[in-house]
Structure 1
Amino acid sequence: MRRSERNWGRSALRLAFLVHRWAGIVACLFFAMWFASGLVMLYMPYPALSPAQGWAGAEPIDWSRVGRAPQGQGGARRITLEMRDGAPVWRIDGAEGDTHILSAEAGAVPVAVDTAYVRRVAARFGGAEVARVEAIGHDQWTVAGGFDRHRPLWKADLVDAARTELYVSSLTGQVVQRTTRSQRVWNWLGSVPHWIYPTVLRRDGGLWRQVVMWVSGPCIAVALTGLWIGILRLRAGRRRYRDGRMTPYRGWMLWHHVSGLLGGAMLTTWIVSGWLSVDPGHAFAGSAAPPEAMRAYAGQAGEPVALDRLARIAVGARSVEWSGDAGLKRIAIDRASPHPRWLDRQSLAPARASIPARAAMLVPGGRLVASERLARPDFYWTSPTRLPVVRMRFDDPAATWLYVDPMSGALVQRQDRTRRAYRWVYTLLHTWDWPWLTARRPAWDAWMWLWSIAGMVLSVSGVVVGWRRLRRPARGGG
């Protein structure tokens, strides 16, 4: 080997030692935080009000007060009849994502969302007295962009054992978020530190993405250099260290070396996949259907008619929705409930599941080559609450798959080759939501705990070693 090559190798090794030693002090603090908070997240997810929970807290429609259908709204994408503070209203969702509310009572207007309104709605939804109401822009539990259309939000504190807080939309007048004291406390130990998710940072999505990338990047460098150094320091053959040891270290350094060799690869995949969670450079954004094709596919809800007949069919219903996705003219009764009912919009007869032929318009240049009905989760479709679903495969250059609701015809998800790769490099490697493993929950818990404990040992030992290294000059100078 040439001298220049030997010198280059020594310089690279020295640089790896320096990066791992000094950047590792801070990185191990992050590692310890991520592993500990990740274990909390296994059992306490970030608060979210599911559609089913929202439906359970809604009022049954008072059909005796439904006196008129919305006029001139047939071109809307979706029309929903529901209750708003004891009165029936029409929620009109337009083709451009706009939403507005109309009263379903002749000569009436929707009740304004104010403090008194929020007190009534929150008390009815939560089944408890309301202690305090305030209007807010953002807070820790409503910082995500999905709440933007509902701002300003109204927060209501309930007087109940769980210390519940409800958030009411100023747009729809519906409860859109719910948290309890237990959820809030545990998430300050789980999701908030794990995602680097404080309100002051997360409310600026661009800044938050940059922080996650720039924090994760050096941590990846520390993990990779640690693996390299750990393997170089290992002597498993005949030429071992004194006393036949395979590692030169003792004490905390021994714990750090051994745990790094055993769990370093898993640690690296977790850190890299966590970095990919914000999709740096949007490398995994995937393809999208042309906007005009999406609008055409969504169709029109049509004018609600035959309300007297529908009132007899939908007794006790909490929501009735008109839609026209994929050209399927449907009425959904209590769509978010455990047992929704689907009707043909014209005959009001029970609707049947189908595979919408119009889905092909969403994949220009592609031909449908296969379709299948999924009744349970598989590797690429892991949501048990959105079943059954029809998966349609196309032969376009992006190898697009469409997931479609067989009852409404609505497009549920679009996947191409890039998004399926993202499923491997981010979702699987970060959460290990492999259906075979998650279906055997004790085994999945044991798997996650095993590697998390190895990561905690690696992190804590790194912090201790780094702290001692930092204090060494101070002791020497004293």
Structure 2
Amino acid sequence: MWSASHSKRLVFLIHRWTGVAGCVLMALWVFSGVVMLFVGYPKLLPTERLSALPPLSGPHCCVPVETALRHSEAPDKVQQVVLTTIAGRPSYRFKEEGGALRVVDAASGHMAPLPDDAVAARSAQAFLPGANGVLLGQTQDDRWTHSGLLDPHRPLFKMQMDDPESSLLYVSSTTGEVVMDVPRYQRLWNYVGAWLHWVYMFRDGSRDAVWSWLVIGLSALGTISAVAGAFVGIWRWRFTGHYKSGAKTPYREFQMRWHHITGLLFGLVMVLWIFSGLMSMNPLGVFSPGGPRPDVKAYQQASAGSVLPGIATKDALALLEADGFDTRELEWRVLGGRPYLLASDREGATRVVSSVGSAYRVHKTWELEMLEQSARRLFAFDVRSTSVLDDYDAYYFRRGDASMYAGSARDLPVLRVQFDDPGRTLVYISPYSGEVVLSVDKAQRTGRWLFNFLHSWDLSWMLRHTWPRDAILVLLSIGAFALAFTGVVLGYRRLMLFIRHKFRLRH
């Protein structure tokens, strides 16, 4: 008959052998997590990209956008139109329905050929003026380029630069733009940081189901081991009275004693970190949106290529220059059927160029009334509430450069709209760009708490106090690492004892 003692024995055995199997990985997860607080996985931040671009100016800069759009097979299907600089030349970049990218030389109006080695070299040198580079060939995917955002640009040219940071640049084989920069310090730290933390040595490409399930399985194993260890630690601690040795713990041997004590002190932290790491993988899609998603096409009411502002490109640039704005990129957009231009400077600040009556003017933000009216088209459900946030809330917040969310636009103020759909979706719209920058339904909000909060301690007030938060996380990580490291020593001893026992039985 199964008894409580049998149940406890089973928990002891589960903790022992899952600990033997996963103790090294858990120690490495804790250590690499501390590194990731300060050095994140490589990414090209918007400000890095924009600051490397020259100003767009001059009356002879560009042919009309209508001329460039003639190179598209279906201009009315073009979802994105951007005027930027590629390999030192002003260029129109189109994103067509389905995600295909096209580039038109804005000076000549001719379709740009696919980039070759020379274009990749010019683009890299324009990104890092004064530096020379060596082409290392092309790669479909490597340890620094797993991001799905790079998929339209693959394969990627690799350029090793001789700048002081020994930067490794990746250039799109579709557009010729620099899409990733990885300085030497980031490469070195990532070997013991994000690359190790996410077990990227086993990942193959941006979409790798085998890798995803491997991480899910390892995280589940670690969670089971940590939870079982918490039970064992509590059962073995004398909260009232003492063992014969006079101690609260029955263990006299140094490693066992401190594994028990650090487990009681930091076991909850370990459980929450490993469990939230499991949740980060969205196992079985439990945090995927369960209902309809915001209909951005209905919000826009037209594609960027089908409805164009009635102002020429050179006139729009002159208008921005007269307003004192240092334009580095210009994008054609549509909001509620109304076409407009969105300009960005080297710091990522934006300006809206839209019509006021029969004239075009430069504005810092959209009118909130216009945004609210257009927002109602995002869902076929009523709006429950609208509000303008002047401070971050639990779902809309800004993260530091090391975070995987560092490139996300999170400006204030922001318009927050909650809908009466089954998922009670919250939508955040930027008055600066008119863009839907974030939407979260009930399932995604649950995932935010079970992953982001438990893993990163990222409430807005925590993120405002950066160094105290980082200091506390480092101290907790030291304790959790001590727990894991003593587990590694004990696991090694247990494994060697098991192997010697099996060897004696065979001989």
When normalised by structure 2's length, the TM-score is 0.87
| Number of the residue aligned with 2:275 | 272
The farther-off stretch of 146-155 and 439-448 is 439-448
- Tell me whether 1:247 sits opposite 2:249 in the alignment: yes
Root-mean-square deviation (Å): 2.3
The aligned residue for residue 392 of structure 1 is: 417
Q: Please report how far the alpha carbon of residue 468 of structure 1 lies from its aligned counterpart in structure 2 after TM superposition.
A: 1.9
Cα distance in structure 1, aligned partners of 2:172 and 2:155: 7
| 2:194 aligned partner | 191
2:375 aligns to what? Answer: 359
Letter in 2 for 1:360: R
Question: Residue 162 of structure 1 corresponds to which residue in structure 2?
Answer: 165
**CA shift for structure 1 position 55:** 0.7
- Name whichever of 35-44 and 465-474 sits farther off: 465-474
Q: How does 1:28-427 map to 2 (within 5 A)?
A: 28-61=23-56, 63=58, 64-70=60-66, 71=69, 73=75, 76-106=78-108, 108-127=110-129, 128-198=131-201, 200-201=203-204, 203-238=206-241, 240-250=242-252, 251-287=254-290, 289=292, 293-298=295-300, 299-301=302-304, 302-303=307-308, 305-315=311-321, 317-334=327-344, 337-345=347-355, 347-351=359-363, 352-355=365-368, 356=371, 357-365=373-381, 367-383=382-398, 385-388=409-412, 389-427=414-452
Any runs of at least 4 consecutive aligned residues in structure 1 with deviations exceeding 6 A, and if so which? none
The answer to whether the 8 Å contact 2:340/2:354 transfers is: yes
Distance change (3 Å), C-alpha of 1:283 and 1:416: same
Relative to 1, partners in 2 of residues 1:110 and 1:276: Cα closer, same or farther, differing over 3 Å?
Answer: same
Deviation string 1:77-114 (CA, Å, 9 cap, x unpaired) is 33211222333221122344332222323463325411
Closer, same or farther in 2 for the Cα pair 1:235/1:86, shift >3 Å? closer
Distance 2:199 2:12 in 1: 28
1:420-455 CA-to-partner distances (Å, cap 9, x unmatched) read: 111111100011112222211222022212221111
Match of 2:17 in 1: 22
User: In structure 1, how many angstroms separate the alpha carbons of the residues matched to 2:192 and 2:465?
Assistant: 26
CA contact (8 A) 1:323 1:329 kept: yes
Query: 1:381 Cα shift?
Result: 1.0
For structure 1, the residue ranges without an aligned partner over 5 or more in a row are none
State the Cα distance separating 1:249 from its structure 2 match: 0.6
Letter in 2 for 1:372: S
Match of 1:472 in 2: 497
The C-alpha deviation readout for 1:437-476, integer Å capped at 9, x for no partner, is: 2211222022212221111111111111122223335667
Aligned to 1:445: 470
- SS where residue 360 of structure 2 aligns? coil
Taking a change above 3 Å as real, the CA distance of residues 80 and 475 of structure 1, as seen in their structure-2 partners, is: closer
Deviation at 1:36, TM superposition (A): 0.5
Once the two structures are TM-superposed, the CA of residue 283 in structure 1 deviates from its matched residue by 0.6
- Superposed displacement of residue 58, structure 1: 1.3
Whether the 8 Å CA contact 2:101–2:152 is kept in 1: the answer is no
Distance change >3 Å, CA 350–CA 260, structure 1 → 2 = same
Letter in 2 for 1:41: M
Q: Is 2:5 the counterpart of 1:10?
A: yes
Q: Name the CA distance, whole Å, in 2 between partners of 1:360 and 1:135.
A: 46
* Structure 1 residue 74, shift from structure 2 partner: 5.5
Paired residues, number:
470
CA contact (8 A) 1:89 1:104 kept: yes
- Deviation digits for residues 236-274 of structure 1 (CA, Å, limit 9, x no counterpart): 113x21143211012111100011111111111111110
